A = this chain, B = another copy of it.
Amino acid sequence: MIRLQLQLELSYTVLAPGAEFFFFFHAANTSHQRVIDENLVISQPDAAWQLQESDCMGQRCLRLGAQPGPLTVRYTAGVEMRHHVADPAQIPEVPVCDIPHDVLQYIYPSRYCQSDRLYNFAGGLFGGLPRGYSRAKAICDWVGQHVTFRSNSSDGTTSAVDTLIERVGVCRDFAHLMIALCRAVNMPARFVTGTDFGADPKMGPPDFHAYVEVYLGGRWYLFDPSRTAIPMGMMRMATGRDAADVAFATIFGSVYSDQPRILVVAGEDAEAGWEFPEHTDQAVSTA
């Protein structure tokens, strides 16, 4: 079991009345990740907010209407994660005809993952590989090897097609490209947000992270194509078709944003059965 403690602080200056925020920063509750304790503090006492849970994903959307002036949102959470771990060699792909109805949407193209334009490309590189977890891993590795991580090298309109051409991006771009390539060979793939536990401090302070899940053997397995974090230590926040669905903050109105401040600590306590997150060659799933 892995025990993570998150501290998050978001600071804004609301410049005009009527600002609305949609946040996806709450730790998700899934069959493998359980929120033990959490706390939310919103600096504006009169702010109207509500927390909405999606039906099946265990993720929560915080909607907040704020007044002009400074706004700080602080969130802390402690989660326990018990990953499903499996032998990669034993995990098959799911043939198109057996993809469950609610998973189907994840083989279709989406805003930032234009898999419909990549059939020839993906087919040429990955179409001939043996089917199974190893094929998703080959796509993940290809993306990691062919795209260079560079902070601020992309923006909110950058898509998988752009990243495939320009070969540079941040974690979000790596994730979009891997998703698009997976879908182009008919593997359902989706976008997950969380935190980048284990990232090299030289890359900057701890941050939100974006990674990938691929539907294999009837389950969603985790991949980190930007290879910046330790998958076992990534705390899940939200899941969607791509970043369009689960931006950590969608803001309506005139608002100035500061850099978010994030801290994630892994508990280590052998007696309590808490393991420290490590890299592994096993296949890992949290959904």
Q: A interface vs B, CB < 8 Å?
A: 20, 22, 48, 52, 54, 61, 63, 65, 96-97, 101, 104-105, 108-111, 113-114, 116-118, 120-121, 124, 146, 148, 156-157, 161, 164-168, 186, 244-245, 252
Contacts and interface: CB of A to CB of B under 8 A. Distances in A.
Contact of A109 (B48, B114, B120, B244): B244
Most chain B CB inside 10 Å of its own CB: which residue of A54, A114, A148:
A114
A110 B186 contact: no
17 contacts: A20-B97, A52-B101, A54-B101, A61-B101, A61-B104, A96-B252, A109-B111, A110-B110, A110-B244, A111-B113, A114-B157, A116-B156, A117-B165, A118-B165, A118-B166, A121-B165, A124-B167
Q: What is the predominant secondary structure among interface residues of chain A facing chain B? A: mixed
A117 B252 contact: no
A273 B168 CA distance: 55
Contacts of A65: 97
A58 to B, nearest CB: 14
Contact of A117 (B96, B101, B108, B157): B157
B120 A244 contact: no
A244 B54 contact: no
Contacts of A244: 108-110, 116
A22 to B, nearest CB: 8
Contacts of A167: 120-121, 124
A177 to B, nearest CB: 11
A63 B20 CA distance: 41
Going nearest first, the 7 A-B pairs with the smallest beta carbon separation are: A120-B167, A109-B111, A108-B244, A52-B101, A109-B244, A20-B96, A121-B167
A115 B186 CA distance: 26
A19 to B, nearest CB: 10
A51 to B, nearest CB: 11
Contact of A252 (B22, B120, B186): B186
Contacts of A166: 117-118, 120-121
Contacts of A186: 252
